[in-house]
Amino acid sequence: MQKRRCRNNFSSAFFIVNQLDIFDIAPTRNVVIVGGGPAGLMAAEVIASAGHQVALYDAMPSVGRKFLLAGVGGMNITHAEPAEDFRARYSANSQFMNALKQFDATALRNWVHGLGIETFVGTSGRVFPADMKAAPLLRAWLHRLRELGVKIYPRHRWLGWSDDKQLLFSAQENGVAVTKTISADALLLALGGASWQRLGSDGSWVSLLHERNVQVNELVPSNCGFDSDWSEILRTEHAGAQLHGVGLSCVDGLGRVRSVLSEAIISAYGIEGTGIYALSKYLREQLVLQGSALLNIDLLPDLSQEKIVQRLNKPREKNSLSNFLRKQLNLSPVKLALLRELTTKNTFENPELLALAIKKMSLTLTATRPIDEAISSAGGVAAKELDKAFMLNKMPGVFCAGEMLDWDAPTGGYLLTGCFASGRAAGHGLSAWLKKSR
């Protein structure tokens, strides 16, 4: 009787094992994710949902710090426009663009709705949470991750690999610095770029991958301001003033004209603002090729040059030139100051020349601002180093996602969408690799 019972138990166990094979259920694996931004958190959700144990490590005291900063003044999650136009905003390789196709702006909005957060589309096409805040979204997301069993370890800075290929972390325990050695079945790196170092994106990971012979293209500032040699008068009297409703244009590295209708801000060092960020990639290309960049500014994009000439030819009567220009063309003080800065006295005496200057002033830019001041960075892990699943070819089981990849996009929700999409794609790639390699 006892023998029969044992045989039955063995048969049951054998049946269960075969059932696992039949239904192709992968055993639970231990996965480490380094980086607690949108890409790392999204990868954690995907991998944990596949049934694996996920431990996420971040150097900062809490996760999502840059995500929360992006929500200051309104959390711009993504952008509502046709999918083809949306993807055209990105400069990226084929696997990254495929990730965007798999998780586009509509999919991201649906995912946010699944967290219980409603969204709306602003007049500019930008998408925001209903309350315009990032914190409620992050709280709801972290709650979901905890329910999935994701363990989060803040104040753990990744140091690379040990000689026996274990992961090394520096941490604080009871106020004492310690080094931890951690093993994992797979690793996903989502360490960000090199902008906003105080929030954890310092690019220190570049040297760690270089040591493993992984090519990392230089991290450079993107969505950034630019230096220009202002006069002392303009700098002291107009630094911080906004140029509303201007047309901005430049030529890219291939000689094509790139233009936006937006705004800019005069700063003590030069110029910045939404429109400048949108053109930063092309201005940066000019700087690399020529040592300087030329930004063209149309102060009155809603008026043709001919219409401006007509208004300038009206009798001035007793008005000063400044007052005349203000009345006829509604030019703000900063626009008038910019005209004086970038033109000559003779230009103001000739209506045709002045109209031409108003429609196309040229500002010479001498350098990008430091990368730590930039909203984002371009450059990163070279496309050739990654397979279609975002795994490093030279390091099986190591995946990369987010801003540490070599891609570029403007602000307006595109950066966040790119991080979400690549994190999701790398998470699926890692899960598939674990299933295949078991």
Q: Do both 181 and 88 map to the same domain? A: yes
Q: Do both 400 and 330 map to the same domain? A: no
Task: Read off the pLDDT of each residue in 240-248 and give the average, rounded to a whole number.
Answer: 96
- DSSP 8-state code for residue 299: S
Q: Do both 329 and 284 map to the same domain? A: yes
Residue 38 three-state SS: helix
**Within a domain: residue 420?**
yes
Q: In terms of pLDDT, which residue wins out, 230 or 254?
A: 230
Q: Do both 356 and 263 map to the same domain? A: yes
Q: Do both 253 and 301 map to the same domain? A: yes
Considering only 12-26, 228-242, 251-265, which range has the smallest mean pLDDT? 12-26
Angle at 386 between CA 382 and CA 391, to 5 degrees: 135
Q: Do both 151 and 134 map to the same domain? A: yes
Question: Band of the pLDDT at 162, cuts 50, 70, 90?
Answer: very high
pLDDT of residue 26: 55
Would you say 88 and 408 are in contact if contact means Cβ atoms under 8 Å apart?
no
Q: Do both 211 and 264 map to the same domain? A: no
pLDDT of residue 176: 86
Over 60: is that where the pLDDT of 19 sits? no
Alpha carbon 39 to its chain's center: 10
Two tokens, residue 342: 């970038």
Over 70: is that where the pLDDT of 283 sits? yes
User: How many domains in the chain?
Assistant: 2
Q: Do both 180 and 53 map to the same domain? A: yes
Q: Do both 390 and 351 map to the same domain? A: no
**Within a domain: residue 121?**
yes
The pLDDT tens digits of the residues spanning 69-97 come to: 877 778 899 999 999 999 999 999 999 99
Of 315, 335, 368, the one marking the end of a domain is 368
Q: How far is 197 from 157, CA to CA, in rounded Å?
A: 14
**Within a domain: residue 18?**
no
pLDDT of residue 4: 41
Q: What mean pLDDT value characterizes the chain? A: 91
**Within a domain: residue 11?**
no
Q: How far is 86 from 11, CA to CA, in rounded Å?
A: 57
Q: Do both 357 and 393 map to the same domain? A: no
**Within a domain: residue 3?**
no
What's the pTM?
Answer: 0.87
User: Closest Cα to residue 381, out of 193, 103, 102?
Assistant: 193
Would you say 370 and 225 are in contact if contact means Cβ atoms under 8 Å apart?
no
**Within a domain: residue 21?**
no
Over 90: is that where the pLDDT of 113 sits? yes
Phi then psi dihedrals of residue 53, to 5 deg = -80, 125
Which one-letter amino acid corresponds to residue 135?
A
Of 312, 335, 368, the one marking the end of a domain is 368
Percent of the chain residues past pLDDT 70, beyond the cut: 94
Of 312, 338, 368, the one marking the end of a domain is 368
Which residue segment(s) compose the domain that 330 sits in? 226-368
Q: In terms of pLDDT, which residue wins out, 70 or 152?
A: 152
Q: How far is 331 from 167, CA to CA, in rounded Å?
A: 60
Alpha carbon 16 to its chain's center: 47
CATH number, domain at 113? Answer: 3.50.50.60
**Within a domain: residue 20?**
no
**Within a domain: residue 354?**
yes
Longest dimension (CA), the chain: 118
Over 70: is that where the pLDDT of 5 sits? no
Q: In terms of pLDDT, which residue wins out, 69 or 214?
A: 214
Q: Do both 239 and 308 map to the same domain? A: yes
The pLDDT tens digits of the residues spanning 357-407 come to: 999 999 999 999 999 999 999 999 999 999 999 999 999 999 999 999 999
Task: Read off the pLDDT of each residue in 289-311 and give the average, rounded to a whole number.
Answer: 95
Q: Do both 253 and 205 map to the same domain? A: no
User: Closest Cα to residue 299, out of 347, 274, 350, 333?
Assistant: 333
